[in-house]
Amino acid sequence: MLGLVAYRECSGYDLAQGAARGIGYIWAPSRSQIYKVLQRLGERGLVASRPVEQQGRPDKAMYRITASGRAALGSWIEEVEDEPTGGPSVFLLKILFAWTAPPEAGLAQLDAYQRYLERTVAHFEELARQLPTDEPVHSLAALRHGIARGRTTLHWIEETRGSLEQHER
């Protein structure tokens, strides 16, 4: 949520729309979740809000990230987990918001994601080698999908690393 608010001042509705348009394939918070999280972030001083009057509708709140919020977001991005508790989509979220952190933070997330995928692909390949001969072909099809997806993402990581490194020069 902090990463979305870091882009610009916005309302909870704006955040829901932005998430649906931009990162919904990675993380899609419900509107009620957005408002609950914004309230908690405000209580912790990570976002600030201001009321905006509207004609014929209830007032809305506009949220912006605070200096403390920016620091917390940067710390989260710089924290590298080889097995994130939120699953592999955490790598993508951290890479997406890495523009708010030192340049090496995004590269560190790419490295961790690469290690994660290499372990996952190796595990799937081992499972495929060990499948019993009487196993339904569908099991192998599912494993091959995981292997192909992992290899494709590893290729994307290499391309992205090159882009980030070139951008930093």
Q: If we measure between CA atoms, which residue out of 56, 15, 55 comes closest to residue 33?
A: 15
The 47-52 sheet, strands edge to edge: 10-11, 60-65, 47-52
Looking at the predicted structure, is the pLDDT value of residue 26 above 80? no
Q: What is the pLDDT of residues 50-99, one digit of tens each?
A: 999 988 888 899 999 999 999 999 999 999 999 998 889 999 999 999 99
Question: Of 47, 78, 109, which residue is a domain's last?
Answer: 78
Q: How many domains does the chain have?
A: 2
Angle between helices 89-96 and 103-129 (to 10 degrees): 160
> 93 and 150: one domain?
yes
- Identify the H or E element spanning 52: strand 47-52
**Range of 62's domain?**
1-78
Q: Which pLDDT score is estimated for 17? A: 84
